[in-house]
Amino acid sequence: MSLPNCQKELPSVEQQYDCAECGKTFSKKFCFQRHQRLHTGEKPYACTECGKGFSLKSHLVRHETVHTGIRQFICTECGKSFSQSCHLRGHYKIHTGEKSFACGDCGKWFLSKSQLTKHHRIHTEEKSYPCSECGESFQLLCVLRKHHRIHTGEKPFTCVECGKRFARKAHLEQHLRIHSHKMVSHVLTVAQFCLQRKSSPNDRDLIHKELELVQNGGNNII
């Protein structure tokens, strides 16, 4: 038997959960609670290996593959493997040339969001990485690491010819030209000597051997 019109049940209105911080609305309480961790910084899921905390369990599970060493996501183009699918997707753009992230200031496109973030500091002049030794700040972490070698004296780049060490790769490359010039000078000296002797067949063979040594790096040239 149907109820009178005045007694018919009204459709239930789903409860909504509004975030007081950003105004975002959620229909489910657990989604709202999970979202709140973005604002509170709460990270209830900790890695048992290194202690790093995460706000979501899925992020912890993804992180744990770093410790297991399992790389189940393989690039079909070059065979390189990754522990996380998102890393494989980012890597694959190297082969496709896809650039999905555009700079709103100059319109330049980038392969990844991290590349865009680094680039954007050029426009904002933000320097988020201060040196703990002298207080000088830098836009990029890699630049801070290079700078820090001034204080530590670290020289990780070694010349294979003479063993001299350098703090920066660019300085090593500049130094290697010294050895390259010496090799070229040596070959020219030998060639000139051979020409003065009217270039016998044996002399021409000697020139070719010296040239081969130069092409192979000149390790056996005195």
Beta strands in the chain (DSSP E): 17-18, 25-26, 45-46, 53-54, 73-74, 81-82, 101-102, 109-110, 129-130, 137-138, 157-158, 165-166
Strand partners, 158: 165
pLDDT tens-digit map of 50-89:
888 888 888 888 888 888 878 888 898 898 888 888 888 8
Instruction: Please report the pLDDT score of residue 214 as a whole number.
Output: 55
Name the one residue in this structure whose structure tokens are 């001299």: 164
Q: What is the mean pLDDT of residues 92-116?
A: 85
Residue type, 195: L
- Note the pTM of the prediction, 2 decimals: 0.35
Q: What tens digit of pLDDT does each residue of 158-213 get?
A: 888 888 888 888 888 888 887 777 666 666 666 666 656 555 566 666 666 666 66
Q: Are 88 and 112 in contact (CB under 8 A)?
A: no
**Residue 175's pLDDT is what?**
82
In this prediction, residues 20-33 reach a mean pLDDT of: 86
| Cβ pair 81, 68 in contact under 8 A | no
Cβ 34 vs Cβ 24: under 8 Å: no
Dist. CA 111–CA 162, nearest whole Å: 39
Residue with tokens 């657990």: 30
